[in-house]
């Protein structure tokens, strides 16, 4: 019944502006329901703001595109709260302190295994934690490049 109502509503608003119609189609696709007209209006405004960001990004990017998803009617504050965003003071970035390498001092290649900078291959099985193993291996490699000491960090 909800789908029929929404489809009828979309057909009835064909005279509405394109953004509102796009929003209604998006809301139907994502099963969005709003408690009152004020909430609907607020979410429409958020959707339009997000749509402007999508259009601007896609117009300026030559390597990728973005689009709408189920979060397109959220405010920045809601998104930050959802991701447990906690602003913190910016400290000196370790990468900014590193000396700029001179291109002619760089080797054409480095075999990090032969250099002793890579831990043995691990089998994470089927636990779905490949991201953790990849992240830890990157940290171990960075630590070795900085200190010349290979450490084994825990993926846990």
Domain ranges of the chain: 2-82, 106-147
Residue 48 CB neighbour total at 10 angstroms = 16
Whole-prediction pTM value?
0.50
Torsion of CA 101, 106, 111, 113, to 10 degrees: -30
Query: Domain 2-82: which topology?
Result: Helix Hairpins (1.10.287)
Q: pLDDT per residue over 79-106, tens digit each?
A: 888 877 777 776 665 555 666 767 777 7
């Amino acid at each position: 019944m909800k789908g029929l109502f929404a489809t009828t509503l979309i057909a009835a608003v064909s005279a509405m502006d394109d953004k509102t119609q796009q929003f209604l189609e998006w809301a139907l696709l994502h099963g969005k329901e709003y408690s009152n007209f004020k909430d609907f209006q607020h979410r429409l405004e958020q959707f339009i703001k997000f749509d402007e960001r999508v259009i601007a990004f896609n117009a300026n990017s030559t390597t990728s595109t973005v689009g709408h998803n189920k979060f397109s009617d959220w405010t920045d504050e809601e998104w930050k709260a959802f991701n447990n965003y906690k602003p913190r003071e910016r400290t000196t970035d370790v990468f900014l302190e590193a000396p700029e390498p001179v291109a002619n001092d760089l080797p054409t290649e480095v075999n990090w295994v032969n250099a002793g900078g890579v831990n043995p291959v691990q089998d994470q099985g089927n636990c779905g934690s490949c991201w953790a193993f990849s992240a830890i291996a990157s940290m171990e490699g960075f630590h070795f490049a900085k200190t010349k000491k290979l450490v084994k960090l825990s993926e846990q």
